[in-house]
Copies of this chain bind each other. A is one copy, B any other.
Amino acid sequence: MSGTNAGSSLDAELSGLLGAHWITDGSRLEALRGDRSGLIAEGRGIGLAEPADTEQAAAVLRIAAAHGVPVVPRGAGTGLAGGGVVGAGRIALSTARMTEIREIDPVDQVAVVGAGVINAELDRAARQYGLRYAPDPASRAISTIGGNIATNAGGLLCAKYGVTREAVLGLTAVLADGRILRTGHRSVKGVTGYDLTALLVGSEGTLGVITEATVRLIPRPDVEPVTVGAVLPDLGGALELCRELQAAGQRPALLEIMDARSLAAVTRYLPEADRPGPFAGPLGAGSAAVIVQWDAEGAGAAAERAMRLVDALGGRAIRCDDEAGGERVLGVRRAMNPALPNGTDVLIEDVCVPRSRLAEMYAAIARIEAETGIEIPTAGHAADGNLHPHLSVRAEDRTPGGEIPERVWDAAARVFRAALDLGGTLTGEHGIGVLKARWLRDELGDESFALQRGIRQLFDPRGQLNPDAVFVADDPGANANGDTVP
């Protein structure tokens, strides 16, 4: 680690390079200690570098490497696993100035964008050409394409349109030592060598800093989406409805499920006027919800069938045949985040199981609730088997610093274990980050873990990039600041 002299030389070099875009203001650095995970890093970072482009990012990394100072890549700070928190001794490298949509090509149906472009802005720009950027994490209005790529962000539309990886054709990334790597193609096909594009997607800033991306756009559906929002008497009915809606041949664009605790939390949070159809009225104690949307020809017939199914299951539903109405219904699901925000009182988790095991995963969560006394409202993307258990911190368990108490982490660990036992994963779309690093090896197994750590060392031998994330817990030496792992 650099001492005082090295520190001031580092400061001078980065000031010289970036001018006002090398920021050491205390309040800015304070904000960078956290993200949307609720985690707060120990201490403040050294400074915030906001390079204008790939070349400047490379220069920042060369300077940092020369001083042996680790760098944490940072998008919009919307991560839910602490992968972008910046603590003592680290430099934050932000993509905030890389916001250029360089190109949208309606013939190739690709966009070339800076890593700092906001997801929803790209989609808005694509809309002018009748195209869409499909990956739609819940954070899409505020999260960046670069951050989405670094975490392989998911969202509501994945079962039909795939995760972020499927949308990324090529990348520009800066390696820890400042080398610039270009991967991939402008075409869907291309099999020259290994798929480094896919390797960088989801690497959470540990292999390189993504600065630019070539992404795939797809034709925007030319029919209005049809949406059904249903309240079922119990979770069993909701799960049954989800199964029926995915029977072969059916392909909803999205399919969301909310259990009774989730529905109760949202009902408390949302004013009645914002709760359409059955969500407005009084809800039975165990009621659960399903929201489904179709965006292709035949949507009307599918919705009709869904309404009949809801009826047969003893539920009530609203159907909306236009986008605005659909958004109102989806608002019920989207209210989960503000109703139960990640942080002091809630730990939002992100397990994913084969969708045939959803009922078993819900049952496991109920068992863990009963055994630990911790409430776990759980909603998620039923078509993917991706559930977000919201582990609640009880008043008596609150910690002085606002960190998630160990007791809640213990319950989370049981949730992870249950997901793994069902053939699932710790994290469907949020990433490992800092918060889940200690369970990484459990899921990967020894062979995969060793190879992955080897890849990390190949790209970043000194562990300079995002050293507190992903590969930390099991072998601290692998990511120790400035140390080479033998």
Task: State the A residues within 8 Å of B (CB).
Answer: 105-108, 110, 129-131, 151-152, 154, 158-159, 162-163, 165-166, 175, 179-183, 185-196, 198-199, 201-203, 207, 218-220, 222, 243, 246, 248-251, 296-298, 352-356, 381, 384-386, 423-432, 440, 443-445, 447-449, 451-452, 454-455, 458-459, 470
Can you list 19 A-B contacts with CB-CB less than 8 angstroms, sorted by A residue number?
Answer: A107-B355, A107-B356, A108-B354, A129-B248, A131-B248, A151-B191, A162-B162, A162-B188, A163-B188, A175-B447, A179-B447, A182-B445, A185-B424, A189-B429, A190-B425, A191-B428, A192-B440, A193-B452, A296-B296
The 7 nearest A-B residue pairs measured at CB: A297-B297, A130-B248, A198-B198, A189-B428, A107-B356, A190-B425, A186-B354
Residues of B near A106 (CB, < 8 A) are 248
Are B130's CB and A187's CB within 8 A? no
Partner of A191, one of B202, B218, B356, B385: B202
- Bound together, the chains give a CA A190 to CA B106 distance in angstroms of 31
Closest to A299 in B: B297
Partner of A107, one of B159, B243, B249: B243
Are A195's CB and B187's CB within 8 A? no
Are A185's CB and B297's CB within 8 A? no
Partner of A249, one of B130, B159, B186: B130
Q: A130-B248, A385-B187, A451-B458 are in contact. Are A192 and B444 (CB under 8 A)?
A: yes
Interchain nearest-CB distance for A69 vs B (Å): 23
Residues of B near A162 (CB, < 8 A) are 162, 166, 188
Residues of B near A159 (CB, < 8 A) are 188
Residues of B near A443 (CB, < 8 A) are 192-193
Residues of B near A181 (CB, < 8 A) are 447-448, 451
Interchain nearest-CB distance for A471 vs B (Å): 8
- Bound together, the chains give a CA A158 to CA B185 distance in angstroms of 15
Interchain nearest-CB distance for A475 vs B (Å): 14
Extra contacts besides A195-B201, A196-B448 (6): CB < 8 Å: A159-B188, A190-B424, A191-B427, A191-B429, A220-B248, A296-B297
Interchain nearest-CB distance for A111 vs B (Å): 13
- Bound together, the chains give a CA A248 to CA B447 distance in angstroms of 45
- Bound together, the chains give a CA A452 to CA B191 distance in angstroms of 13
Closest to A154 in B: B189
Residues of B near A353 (CB, < 8 A) are 187
- Bound together, the chains give a CA A447 to CA B186 distance in angstroms of 19
Are B356's CB and A108's CB within 8 A? yes
Interchain nearest-CB distance for A441 vs B (Å): 9
- Bound together, the chains give a CA A187 to CA B180 distance in angstroms of 33
Are B187's CB and A384's CB within 8 A? yes
Are A219's CB and B196's CB within 8 A? no
Closest to A428 in B: B189
Residues of B near A246 (CB, < 8 A) are 107
Are A192's CB and B426's CB within 8 A? yes
- Bound together, the chains give a CA A348 to CA B354 distance in angstroms of 41
Residues of B near A352 (CB, < 8 A) are 185, 187, 189-190
Closest to A185 in B: B425
- Bound together, the chains give a CA A352 to CA B443 distance in angstroms of 37
- Bound together, the chains give a CA A219 to CA B294 distance in angstroms of 15
- Bound together, the chains give a CA A429 to CA B182 distance in angstroms of 20
- Bound together, the chains give a CA A298 to CA B297 distance in angstroms of 8
Q: A158-B189, A199-B195 are in contact. Are A182 and B131 (CB under 8 A)?
A: no
- Bound together, the chains give a CA A423 to CA B103 distance in angstroms of 15
- Bound together, the chains give a CA A152 to CA B194 distance in angstroms of 10
Q: A107-B243, A193-B448 are in contact. Are A424 and B386 (CB under 8 A)?
A: no
- Bound together, the chains give a CA A381 to CA B188 distance in angstroms of 11
